[in-house]
Amino acid sequence: MKRFFLIILLTISALSFAQNKVNQAETTQKLATTMYLIDNFYVDSTDMPKLTEEAIVAMLKSLDPHSAYIAAKDVKKANENLEGSFDGIGVTFQILRDTILVVSAVPGGPSEKVGIMAGDRIVTIDGENAFGKKVNNEYVTKHLRGKKGTKVVLGIRRGDDKELVDFEIVRDKIPLNSINTYFMVDKKIGYIKLDQFAQKSVEEFENALQDLKKQGMKSLIFDLRGNSGGYLQTAFELGNEFLGSGKTVVFTEGLKSPKMYYETDRNGGFRDGRLVVLIDEGSASASEIVSGAIQDWDRGVLIGRRSFGKGLVQRPFNLPDGAQIRLTTARYHTPTGRCIQRSYEEGSEEYFKEMTKRLEHGEYYHADSIQFPDSLKYYTLTSGRTVYGGGGIMPDIFMPVDTTYSTKLFTDLVRKLVFNSYCIDYVLANREQINKDYSDFEKFNKKFEVDDAMIENFKKAAEEKGVKWDEGQFERSESWIKLRIKAIIAQNVWNIDKFYQVVAKDDKMIEQAVKILNSKKEYNDILGK
């Protein structure tokens, strides 16, 4: 009887394999025949290479939001944000329904400085419509990149707003380093901000870690806010830095990709000290791998807001003409088995509206607006704490968006480049005096204050750029406006990492992290130790 059933199973398997081969042949022949018929019998002339690319793009769009086609001429440029440098406005984008969609603004880049946000749609460029069939990777590159110092004006549609908002952006050199800043918050707590998981990120991290240890660091704040991801291998190697040997950082699995475990094979550079990881809605992919592993192993405390929810692995495949397909081949899972990828069943357009929906639902302000079903419940591997899958990493401690800079006045000041223009003029006029009064950045950071006279001049500069000054809104955002002025002055006198060091003084998440790291009991209670 057993032999009989075995014969049946083998027969079914063989038939299934044969049927699959037939279906593949039929599909391939069908597509090739269609292209042949168009090329040889269509009424008008056709651009067959272009038509082929459009067919590929359409097929990939129907699969998932992250599978993508990259033309041969664009492959090198597509990797520049992780491997090289270029002059431009500093955004990662995706063309969705013939519209340029901002996926993220490069931290510290020109677009981030003026207030470009993930989810913004670029509708016009220098007054010209930037949507429709003409929009492709080549079009975007041609219009958004350019020589450092040149300007471009983008017409942005945000959310469901009907009116466009113009942003003037000055092109600049996009930063190469994936770690823009690291410093000591106090005598024992270090801070590292990682902006992307690039080829040299691990090397940069290890150098920063060693430097901070020399300065007396015992505990670490690892900032992954706004980090949209990068290389899976880099994420695994950074997970190595925090976990002991033989621990799973992530595993991947797909229907046609066997399960693959990424386990630590060495002792990391920071596997014992207290650790806090900062995440938000802009933390995606590789950021979620690292933060998910740290949470699952009860290695550190996560603070912030629910992460983006991208748990798909893209594998690059080169085509004969040098073009590349980045095809989703697997889903990644945290060590407990959580799949962090959120649903895309309603299509890519709805998928990328998720951040706007979270805002409308109040998720950025109230943790209880997020509901997780019991079916998504998991338990951490050391203390058995409850964590959830299915749509991003939920932090251990929720921190709402800081509303002190959510006024229209503050938005207009950023959007119309008042901060940058005022601070550049101020530094040009006062650089010598600043260097005389403050021998180094540390002294500047402790003692420099934005006084009433500076605010009056800042107000005049704002009004000259068409910003309507509202005293009530200024009072609400005053502390943040002054801090940003100070930070941009520091950036122009020294460099970009000083900007982050200044604003850290009024960063509510960093304040909360310091509070927890300085309390052994509170830290251990959160982790169930």
Alpha-carbon torsion, ordered 490, 491, 497, 501, to 10 deg: 30
> So what's the pLDDT on residue 356?
82
Active site residues: 285, 296, 310
Output the pTM of the full model: 0.78
Note down pLDDT in tens along the chain; length 529 residues: 434 333 333 333 444 444 455 577 677 888 889 989 999 999 999 899 899 999 999 999 899 999 999 998 888 777 766 765 678 998 878 787 688 888 678 777 899 889 898 678 899 999 999 998 898 888 998 899 888 999 999 999 887 777 899 999 999 987 667 898 999 999 999 999 999 999 889 999 999 999 999 999 999 999 999 999 999 999 999 999 999 889 999 999 999 989 999 999 877 899 999 999 999 999 999 999 999 999 999 999 999 999 999 999 999 999 999 999 999 999 999 999 999 898 888 888 888 888 888 877 888 888 777 777 777 899 999 999 999 887 899 999 999 988 777 789 998 999 888 998 898 788 878 988 998 999 899 999 999 999 999 999 999 999 999 999 999 999 999 999 999 999 999 987 887 789 999 999 899 999 999 999 999 999 999 999 8
Residues 504 and 497: their CA atoms lie apart, in Å, by: 11
> So what's the pLDDT on residue 81?
62
Side chain identity, residue 231: Y
> So what's the pLDDT on residue 353?
84
Side chain identity, residue 440: D
> So what's the pLDDT on residue 126?
93
The encoded tokens of residue 155 equal 């017409």
Q: How far is CA 45 from the centre of its chain?
A: 43
Residues 378/388, Cβ–Cβ less than 8 Å: yes
Q: For strand 386-388 and strand 377-379, is the pairing parallel, antiparallel, or unpaired?
A: antiparallel
b (16+ CB within 10 A) / e for 164-196? ebebebbbbebbebbbbbbbebeebbbbbbbbb
CA-angle at 314, arms to 309 and 316, nearest 5° = 160
Residues 326 and 344: their CA atoms lie apart, in Å, by: 18
Domains of the chain: 74-173 (2.30.42.10), 179-314+329-401 (3.90.226.10), 404-509 (no CATH)
Helix (H), strand (E), coil (C) string for 315-369 = EEEECCCCCEEEEEEEEEECCCCCECCCCCCCCHHHHCCHHHHHHHCCCCCCHHH
Q: How far is CA 239 from CA 279, 281, 294, 333, in A?
A: 15, 20, 8, 14
